Copies of this chain bind each other. A is one copy, B any other.
Amino acid sequence: MSVTIRDVAKKAGCSIKTVSRVVNQEAHVTPDLRDRVLAVIDELGYVPNISARRLVQNRSYMICILLHASGVFQSSLISKVLDLGYEGNYDILIQTYYPAFSRSQSKIASLINERRIDGLVTTPPCDSDPYLINMIQQSKLPHVHIAPINPTGGTPYVSAEDYTGAYQMTERLIGLGHYRIGLLMGLRNHRTSLDRLYGFRAALERNDLAFNEQLAIDSENNFPGGYNATKILMGLKQPPSAIFALSDEAAAGALFALNELGIKVPHQVSLVSFGDMGFSHQIWPGITAVKYPVEQIVEQSVEMLIKLVEDRPLDVKQMIFPTTIIERGSTARKE
């Protein structure tokens, strides 16, 4: 099946031990032979089998950092992943990915190509990076998407009703008398951001309100993004009476900006967010939010992935979970 050290040795006309020496950068190989071996390695695409190395060296090449469960080092996604780590026979490796960062890319490549992992779950916006997606598909590694931007070629995915959630929240704001609603959008390479935007627009239309480009600010889904966008919004001649932040972090930034401006929430401006991943209820006055079912999504995606890995049948290849609205203190009827 895969290329082994033996294949390389044969083609290069030397012993497997010599190949081993080249791979491990040991001394005692003539430059000539080394180059020949390296060429063959390159040509055949040989990667060492880490399990064999682990066995013979009696080493796992894995280390562990133990967190106490009482810790605060956990947003709800990570927290759920860590919980799932208790179940089953799998260790779950959490890995971050910066598309443009070569060390990140080569780490992922090594995980995939050396078959150090049996399967992979990707979260947005990882899946908007063609290099990564291409590599995963080439490798035929079992793969499950979370909220993909573009559910390609039958790859199973798990997602949530972002559209409906945003629609319902927007209708609720409209019902409170708000007709100028600021929108703090996330980046467009994120499926969830797009769906939330569409849901927002649909609710406006449904209520005969025009979508006002000026009130929809492209910002990143983070604190400074929300902060800056809110400063812009409130600086308009006709500022909004409500702000819909498409992420918790942007909402926190918005609230900070409103506080700084001396604007009272919710009496002067209502604020809502999308996510509710952890601290929406920990900042005053508590942010009314669309709850994103991140625990269920993570649990399902891992479960699907394990089925794929174990070659068990997948009854459903797409799962979409509903969102719910959590009422807190940051919304009020427009005065």
CA distance A91 to B62 in the complex (A): 5
Report yes or no: B117 in contact with A97, Cβ–Cβ below 8 A: no
Report yes or no: A90 in contact with B70, Cβ–Cβ below 8 A: no
Residue A236 at the B interface, CB < 8 A?
no
> A76-100: which have CB < 8 Å to B?
77-78, 81-83, 85-87, 89-98
Residue A49 at the B interface, CB < 8 A?
yes
Contact with B along A114-150 (1 / 0, CB 8 A): 0111111111111000000000000000000000000
* B contact residues around A49 at 8 Å (CB): 55
CA distance A73 to B221 in the complex (A): 12
Residue A247 at the B interface, CB < 8 A?
yes
Residue A197 at the B interface, CB < 8 A?
no
CA distance A222 to B122 in the complex (A): 31
Contact with B along A44-64 (1 / 0, CB 8 A): 000001111011001111111
Report yes or no: B66 in contact with A91, Cβ–Cβ below 8 A: no
Residue A12 at the B interface, CB < 8 A?
no
Partner of A63, one of B54, B63, B309: B309
Report yes or no: B75 in contact with A72, Cβ–Cβ below 8 A: yes
Report yes or no: A305 in contact with B63, Cβ–Cβ below 8 A: yes
Residue A202 at the B interface, CB < 8 A?
no
Given contacts A116-B91, A255-B284, contact A97 B124 (CB under 8 A): no
Residue A194 at the B interface, CB < 8 A?
no
Residue A27 at the B interface, CB < 8 A?
no
* B contact residues around A122 at 8 Å (CB): 66
Report yes or no: A68 in contact with B117, Cβ–Cβ below 8 A: no
* B contact residues around A93 at 8 Å (CB): 62-65, 91-93
A264 to chain B, nearest CB (A): 12
- Count this chain's copies in the assembly: 2
Given contacts A51-B51, A248-B72, A284-B259, contact A67 B118 (CB under 8 A): no
Name 12 interchain pairs, CB-CB below 8 A, sorted by A.
A51-B58, A51-B60, A60-B115, A60-B117, A63-B92, A63-B93, A64-B94, A66-B95, A71-B96, A74-B96, A85-B94, A85-B95
Interface set of A (CB-CB < 8 Å, partner B)? 49-52, 54-55, 58-75, 77-78, 81-83, 85-87, 89-98, 101, 103-104, 107-108, 111, 115-126, 220-223, 247-249, 252-253, 255-256, 259-260, 277, 279, 282-285, 298, 302, 305-306, 309
Q: Given contacts A62-B92, A75-B75, could you give 16 more A-B pairs where the C-beta distance is less than 8 Å? A: A60-B116, A62-B90, A63-B90, A63-B305, A65-B123, A65-B298, A66-B121, A68-B124, A71-B123, A72-B221, A72-B222, A92-B93, A256-B283, A256-B284, A259-B285, A284-B284
Which 6 pairs across A and B sit closest by C-beta, in order of nearness? A259-B284, A51-B54, A51-B55, A69-B98, A64-B117, A64-B93
